[in-house]
Every structure is written in C-alpha cells, then in structure tokens.
C-alpha cells in the first residue's frame, strides 16, 4: 500500500526545499494538497516523482520543482487575483487557492475543465473559477490580474495576455524557442510594458497555442 502522505512529505523535503523553494506558505500548500488525486488512478504511484506526468496527449502535469519555483517567483499575496492558463486537472489551481484571493483557471480542453472542477469540489476549494477558453486569449472579463501563470512552455507571450496583466503585475512561465532549452522566466508589467528576467533552466513540454505564428507582445 502506497503512503501518499509520506511521498508528499518527501516531495517537499527532498525536492522542493533543496531547490530553493523556501516560502513556508507555499510549502504548506504543497504539503496539504493531495497531488495523487489530480492524475489518473494508474498514474497515482508516480504522482510525486520529479518529472512531468501526462494528463492527455497534449497536456502534462509539470514536475513539482518547476511548478513550485514559478509560483514562488510570483510572490503572491492573499489579495491577488490570478489567471492560471492550461490548468489541466486543477492541481495548481488548488495550490493557488491557498496563496491568492481569487483564481481564474482556464483550459481549452473541456474534459479537463470538468475534471478540474470535480477535483476542486472534492478539495472544498471555493475561490477558484474554471472556464473553457482559448489559452492564448486568457479571460479578459475578469482582468486585470496581479499575476498570471502558464503551465507549459511557450514561444512568446500573446498581446491579449499582456493586456490583461495589471500594472505592476507578474507573469511566470517557461519560454522555449524551437530546438532550444527552455528557461523559466518572470515578466513584470511596468508603465504598460513587459520586462523580464530569466530564473532557471526548465525542460517543460510546449503548449501549441503559444507558437510564434500568432501575434505577440514579447
């Protein structure tokens, strides 16, 4: 019998802390949300390994270290409104519910949205709204957002997403050009423009919705 609580503890202590994830509120969220409940039953034994896990052919659950370091970089506050893009089955939505005041989670896969809502209901999450939407369009009706996080590697940040970020807001994602190593990047909007700094290397699967053929801001 697998003890998921023990695996969760080791994920935090042996994966996250050694990789400079030190925010105690964030660590508490990762310690309390059952990651195994957000993957298929056949994958539950692998839920806490340090690698990406497939959810569908086009969507993965990113490895814990990359997820946690992106979230830590956002420096979320309890009053923040967050847009989560490519939310999958809702695992990081549940984490975000412990860190921010309100979360808008979107995915372009209707079945994943349904699973996410079911999973969040089971975790009694009240401050997350899940919608089916084009990933690159975001969710403008609830903008502006103090933070945006994208789950999956992107080639660029579409102009509509930049427009939905509040002044002073932050956006965290993995950026990957064709045939290059991905890099985690933190954007910030100041005076209507995005500036950024690179955080760490990350080999994250790409999101097709963010290829360069679409209009982009950066």
Identify whether 203 is part of a domain: yes
Distance separating alpha carbons of residues 95 and 63, to the nearest angstrom: 14
Identify whether 6 is part of a domain: no
pLDDT at 218: 52
**Measured CA distances, 68 to 120, 173, 175, 186 (Å):** 19, 12, 16, 13
Q: Tell me what the pLDDT averaged over the chain comes to.
A: 95
- The CATH number of the domain where 100 resides is what? 3.40.50.150
Identify whether 123 is part of a domain: yes
Average pLDDT for residues 193-214, to the nearest whole number? 89
Domain count for the chain: 1
| Residue partners of 28: CB distance under 8 A and separation at least 6 | 98
Identify whether 121 is part of a domain: yes
Identify whether 132 is part of a domain: yes
| Helix, strand, coil abundance in the chain, percent, nearest 5 | 35, 25, 35
Identify whether 44 is part of a domain: no
Q: Which residue in the block uniquely carries the two structure tokens 């969220």? A: 29
The whole model's pTM is what?
Answer: 0.94
Identify whether 35 is part of a domain: no
Beta bridge partners of 83: 104, 148
Angle at 50 between CA 47 and CA 51, to 5 degrees: 85
pLDDT at 214: 45
Q: Which domain holds residue 123?
A: 49-210
User: Among residues 124, 10, 113, which one has the least CA distance to residue 55?
Assistant: 113
- pLDDT higher than threshold 90 for residue 211: no
pLDDT at 57: 87
Distance separating alpha carbons of residues 199 and 173, to the nearest angstrom: 10
Average pLDDT for residues 149-156, to the nearest whole number? 95
Average pLDDT for residues 21-36, to the nearest whole number? 98
CA dihedral 6, 201, 54, 95 (to 10 degrees): 50
pLDDT at 2: 86
- Asked whether 146 and 169 are in contact (CB, 8 A), the reply is yes
Q: Which residue in the block uniquely carries the two structure tokens 């310690």? A: 31
Identify whether 18 is part of a domain: no
Average pLDDT for residues 51-66, to the nearest whole number? 94
Model confidence pLDDT, tens digit, residues 59-111? 999 999 999 999 999 999 999 999 999 999 999 999 999 999 999 999 999 99
State percent of the chain over pLDDT 70. 96
pLDDT at 87: 98
Model confidence pLDDT, tens digit, residues 170-187? 999 999 976 678 999 999
């Amino acid at each position: 019998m697998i003890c998921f609580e023990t695996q969760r503890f080791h994920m935090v202590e042996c994966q996250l802390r050694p990789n400079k994830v030190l925010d105690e509120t964030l660590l508490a969220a990762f310690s309390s949300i059952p990651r195994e409940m957000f993957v298929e039953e056949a994958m539950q034994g692998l839920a806490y390994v340090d690698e990406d896990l497939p959810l569908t052919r086009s969507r993965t659950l990113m490895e814990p270290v990359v997820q946690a370091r992106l979230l830590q970089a956002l420096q979320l506050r309890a009053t923040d409104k967050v847009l989560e893009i490519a939310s999958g089955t809702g695992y990081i939505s549940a984490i975000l519910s412990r860190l921010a005041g309100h979360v808008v989670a979107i995915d372009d896969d209707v079945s994943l949205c349904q699973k996410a809502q079911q999973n969040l209901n089971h975790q009694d999450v009240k401050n997350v709204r899940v919608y089916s939407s084009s990933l690159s369009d975001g969710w403008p009706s609830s903008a502006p957002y103090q933070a945006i996080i994208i789950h999956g590697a992107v080639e660029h940040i579409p102009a509509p997403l930049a427009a939905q970020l509040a002044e002073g807001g932050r956006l965290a994602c993995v950026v990957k050009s064709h045939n290059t190593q991905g890099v985690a990047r933190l954007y910030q909007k100041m005076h209507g423009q995005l500036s950024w700094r690179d955080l760490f290397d990350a080999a994250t699967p790409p999101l097709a919705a963010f290829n360069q053929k679409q209009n982009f801001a950066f």
